[in-house]
Structure 1
Amino acid sequence: MSSSIPYSATQDDLFYPSKRGNFFPGGRPKSEAALCAEMSRLAYLRQESNFAFDQVGVRDVLRRIEFSDCEFFESKGKPDEEGIHCFLAQHLDSPKDERLAVLAFRGTDKDDPSDVAYDENFKLEPWQKGGKVHSGFAHAFAEIWKDLDPPLRRVDCKVLFTGHSLGAAVATLAASLRRPNTLYTFGSPEWATPISKLLVEMLTASTM
């Protein structure tokens, strides 16, 4: 991990990864892995009163590292904006071969009962790309995929998928349907049978 991104093993940072703020303290990291680690942490940044993204706060952080475009995708119709959350950030103010998009999924928010329900739904169900996957993660993914897929299809530059915990599992499911240039996951739980995992291993993927 980049030395410009301090590591914390405190319980507070484990349960509330975005709480201390101070995102990208050394600016945009040179390595994709470090960039995705902070993007995964940024995905936890939410409103104080509910679980919806703090969109102003996320955009402010992204502008500081020259990601000028950002779209948000969240579960709909749930109390207190519970559910799955991700954002698609793009660095477009560069020559085309230097442009970059990052799709970052929020992991389990310990206070969000929907996230806990996803995690605890261990039953396996058939996956459209083969094998079987964790039902809770599949249901979480389905809540946003219809809205997320069209913008992903329009991305015409290098794209990275990333996420931590629950977010890592859902990012992996997304990668099985819409292949990124690289998938970076952090602390990913078991999410599928070996056959399904083999399909994802065909991607350029990095698990940490």
Structure 2
Amino acid sequence: MNLEIQKHEFVAIVGPSGCGKTTLLNIAAGLVQQQFGEARVNGAVPQAGQKNVAYMLARDALLPWRTAIRNVEYGLELNGVAKKERRHRAGELLAAVGLSGYENAYRSQLSHGMRQRVALARTFALDSSILLMDEPFGALDSHLKIQLGELLLSLWEQNKRSVMFVTHDLHEAIALADRVIVMRPKPGHIAADIPIPLPRPRNLNSLQVNSEYHELYQHIWSVMGNV
């Protein structure tokens, strides 16, 4: 396969289980080395722990012994950011994701959706130029998925990053992305690379009654069924 993602571009990757979506993210994160060809992140070979890459998983992966604000601070702490600065940054992001007042709550005191909000804040706190997101809202109900999608777009519009967003939800992919990459398995390959010309900023609720949005859905769905 051959895939290039531009600076500040939001790319969604869809396809059936086992086609290699998460493997692509892991290669970009430096967690897996490709067997053939080459991979580059900002012109360099990917390395595990690279500071310019943040990775958000499907599960929140919060540390249960840390409060919400200390979870958001964690990556900043590892990067050597001073306590006062990281606490301020974490507080701002928790407010941005609607969790003011929950700074001192532990994981066990938060709902699933609230935990994903903390994980989203933690991801953006790193201020990395590249975001890898592996079905971060996949286990949420449709209402929460739209809410967190809106939050993600709001944060991204404020401070744009290059995003690789893996999802099984075609509606989500079209609503969020600049391009949708359709993958197929055996062997994993890119079957289609489809631009999403919907104007930004986007309101995910308004898109539900947008005819162009539904035409894109039908087009990509037909592509997925024919490749």
Instruction: Please indicate, yes or no, whether the TM-score normalized by the shorter chain is above 0.5.
Output: no
- After TM superposition, the score normalised by the length of structure 2 is 0.35
Bigger relative contact order, structure 1 or 2 (CA pairs below 8 A, ≥6 apart): 2
Larger radius of gyration: 2
Bigger strand fraction: 1
- After TM superposition, the score normalised by the length of structure 1 is 0.38
